[in-house]
A = this chain, B = another copy of it.
Amino acid sequence: MLEPIRHILQRQRVVLASASERRQRLLSSIGVEFESISSNFLENLPKESFSHPIEYVKENAKQKAIDVWRQLAGNGGHRPDLIIGCDTVVTLDDDIYEKPKDTEDAIRILSRLSAHKHVVYTGVALVTHGTNQSSSSSVADTVCASASSHASSGDSDDGPEDYVVTTFHEGTDVYMTELSDQMIKSYVSTGEPMDKAGAYGIQGIGATLVESIRGDYFNVVGLPLHRLSKELYHMYVE
C-alpha cells in the first residue's frame, strides 16, 4: 500500500534506528530505501515501572529513534526526514522475555513457551520534523517537542528538539508446539535462539516450533509491515 506515496518517500531521507539485519531486510522487502544507524540508547528502562509491555516497547522505540534524530539533526549535515525506531518483546502472563542471557536462560524461556500461547509486541516510533503532522485518521499517539535546549543547526529551520514523535504498537499471538527437552536442547545448540527475543527465530529453524500465529507475522520478526505502511500512508498521502 506504499505505492501511491512511493514518489514522496523516495525524496525523503529515511533512517532505520536499528542495526538489526532482520529489520533491515523487512524494510527493504517492502521497497523502502533507507539507511541504518544504530542508536546509543542503553535500553535499560526498568520494566516494572511500565503498566504494560506495550508502554515499555513504545518507550524503547521512541528513545532509540530520538537518540538517532539527535545524532543527525545536531551536526549541520543533511537532515533526516523520517526516523523509524522499534523494539520487540515476547510476553507470557506478566513476564517479558528479551534476548536470553546464556544457553541456560534460552532453555528456561523455551520450556516456558512450550505448548503455550504467548504474545509478541513490537513498538514503533516515527520521528519527523516539527512541521509535519500525522493525519487525523491515524490512531497512533503523537507527541510534539519544540522547546529546545539545543542550538539549531545552521541549515535547518528547526532545531534538534523540534520534532514530532508518533508511536504505535502491534501485538501478535504465537502458539508454540509442545517441545520435548531433547527438542529444546538441540534447538538451543544450533545457536539460533541467542540473539532473539523469546529465544526463538520464527524466520529460521524456529519456524518449525510454531503451530500458528494470530496477527501480523512480520511483527514477530521485528517490524509490523502493514501497520507501518498504513501510518506512513496517512502521514504522506496527498
Residues of chain A touching chain B, judged by Cβ–Cβ distance below 8 Å, are 1-4, 6, 29-31, 172, 177, 179-180, 182-183, 186-187, 189-190, 202-205, 207-218, 225-226, 229-230
Contact = CB atoms under 8 A, between A and B. Distances in A.
A187 B190 CA distance: 39
A3 B188 CA distance: 10
A211 B217 CA distance: 10
25 contacts: A1-B179, A1-B183, A2-B208, A3-B189, A3-B190, A3-B205, A4-B183, A4-B186, A29-B203, A29-B204, A177-B226, A202-B217, A208-B225, A208-B229, A209-B226, A210-B216, A211-B226, A212-B214, A212-B215, A212-B216, A212-B226, A213-B213, A213-B215, A213-B216, A213-B217
Contact of A187 (B3, B182, B225): B3
B30 A183 contact: no
Contacts of A207: 29-30, 218, 225-226
A135 B190 CA distance: 27
B226 A210 contact: yes
Query: In the assembly, how many copies of this chain are there?
Result: 2
A230 B179 CA distance: 11
A181 to B, nearest CB: 11
Given A3-B186, A29-B205, A202-B217, 11 more contacts: A3-B183, A3-B205, A4-B180, A4-B182, A4-B186, A207-B218, A207-B226, A208-B225, A208-B226, A213-B213, A213-B216
A185 B201 CA distance: 35
Contacts of A1: 177, 179, 183, 187, 208-209
Contacts of A229: 208
Contacts of A31: 190, 205
Contacts of A211: 216, 226
A208 B177 contact: no
Contacts of A208: 1-2, 30, 225-226, 229
A226 B216 CA distance: 18
A107 B145 CA distance: 43
A140 B203 CA distance: 25
